[in-house]
Structures are given as C-alpha cells and as structure tokens.
Amino acid sequence: MKIVVIGGTGLIGSKLVKTLKERGHDALAASPNTGVNTITREGLAEALDGADIVVDVANAPVWEDKAVLEFFQTSGRNLLAAEAAAGVRHHVALSIVGTERLPENGYFRAKVAQENLIKGSGIPYTILRATQFFEFVGGIAQSATVGDEIRVSPALFQPIASDDVVAALADVTLAAPVNGTVEVAGPEAIPLDEVIRRFLKATKDTRKVVPDVHARYFGAVLDDQSLTPGENPRLGATRFEDWLARSQAQ
C-alpha cells in the first residue's frame, strides 16, 4: 500500500516511515522539508496521488494559543479535502490523551478541533491518542523551573516511549479504520513529581522537585485522570526506568 506520513521527518514520523517500509509498504515522508506543505497546499495533491492511507503526525511549529489553533484547523481542512479528492481510504491521526479534559491548555484545544474535523470529514479514520513521551520529560521539568526549584503537580502521569507510540501507530495504520479513538500509554502510572525526580537523578541534575497540587502543566491544573488513559488502553512495553538507563548509556 502507499502510505503518506504527514510530518514524516519528525521524531515520530521518521520512525513510522522506517517501520512501515520494513513491513513492506510504500511509505512517503511528507513535510515542508520534502516539499509538501499542508498550510499552503504545496505538493499536497501530488503526494496523495494513489495513496491508500494518510497518517497525520504533524506538529504545530508554534505554541501560542491562536496560532496553534489556526495551524491545526487550516492543515486539517486542507489535508482532508486533498484526501477526499484522492480517494484515500483511511485517515490516521496522532493525538493526545486527555485533550478534552484540559481546555485551559491551548494546544489541547487545538487538538480537539483537529479531531472534530476528522470526525466530520466522512473519511474512514482512526485517532490514536498517546500519553506524553518520555523524550519530553526534560522539557516539562524546564518549563516548571524557577531558580533551582521545579514545582510540579503530584497527579498521576503515564508517559510512554516514542518507539512504543510508533509501534501502536503502525498497527492501527495497517488495521481497518475504527472510526473512533484508541488510547496508548506507558506501562506504569507514576506521580508527575516522581517522574521528574527520577529524571533528575538519572541526569545528575541538582534541582529540587517541589510537589504542588496547584502547579500548572502548560496552563492546566491536573488531577489523577487528566493525563492518564481510560479503560483498556494499549500499553507500551518500555518502563521509564529502563528508558532512562538506556538513554544515559548512549
């Protein structure tokens, strides 16, 4: 099958393209770097010509609330219109566990808008919602740092290795559309402050973690359900401790 991966040169996209090729499929990495732009529509029709499946893992290049909403709405409309014209049979999108539960977060609001466009498009679809990636734990710590303190919520957090997200994405891409949402998460739910503490210990970082139930996670106050999956999620195989040990050994 011809599978077009939008955002195919990023962290997830590049790994997904490699995985799909290893499984014997014609996988195309589509991004502005390869001449395909879902905002301007440059190269989009050509890339989708003959495509059976499109996987959208594109990430907004900006984080400001209005700009990120405009990105996902414009990109989503252009992409879905091009897919309809090309006769694409399955649209797969990567989203985030908890999007509808944290409306204070502008990025999450934008992902909800993207999901709604997909649901209303008439194209058979699967939305894979993943929890936060292990690879971004350092960025979370940085965003919550004031001086030598990191003030974060002790709410439960169930992060996942990007490789496990890719494995789940490949599986749902090659399966029949579910016309609904599938969740994937890491194997363990751990308080966020403890995740940060383990990361700092592994990286020999001397900053102090201060648990604070009022601390905001990119604008949102968390509880134990905010960033954890619902019933019967797919679980990744990689434990955070093992990923930390491997990443420090590299």
63, pLDDT greater than 90: no
Q: What is the CA radius of gyration of the chain?
A: 18
* Residue at 139: amino acid letter: G
With a CB cutoff of 8 Å and minimum separation 6, the contacts of 139 are none
Q: Which domains does the chain have, with CATH numbers?
A: 2-248 (3.40.50.720)
C-alpha to C-alpha distance for 245 and 23, rounded to whole angstroms: 29
C-alpha to C-alpha distance for 9 and 21, rounded to whole angstroms: 14
- For residue 122 the two structure tokens come to 């008439």
What pLDDT score does 248 carry? 85
pLDDT in tens, 13-34: 999 999 999 999 999 999 999 9
Query: From the centroid of its chain, how far is CA 98?
Result: 12
Task: Give the pLDDT mean for 166-193.
Answer: 98
C-alpha to C-alpha distance for 82 and 245, rounded to whole angstroms: 44
Burial class of residue 120 in the structure, from the number of CB atoms within 10 Å of its CB (0-12 exposed, 13-18 middle, 19+ buried): exposed
What pLDDT score does 62 carry? 83
Is 16 in contact with 8 (CB distance < 8 Å)? yes
C-alpha to C-alpha distance for 97 and 93, rounded to whole angstroms: 13
pLDDT in tens, 143-163: 999 999 999 999 999 999 999
pLDDT in tens, 72-88: 999 999 999 999 999 99
C-alpha to C-alpha distance for 167 and 182, rounded to whole angstroms: 13
2, pLDDT greater than 90: yes
What pLDDT score does 250 carry? 76
pLDDT in tens, 223-241: 999 999 999 999 999 999 9
Phi, psi of 144 (to 5 degrees): -105, 10
Is 107 in contact with 60 (CB distance < 8 Å)? yes
What pLDDT score does 249 carry? 80
* Chain mean pLDDT for the chain: 96
Phi, psi of 13 (to 5 degrees): -60, -45
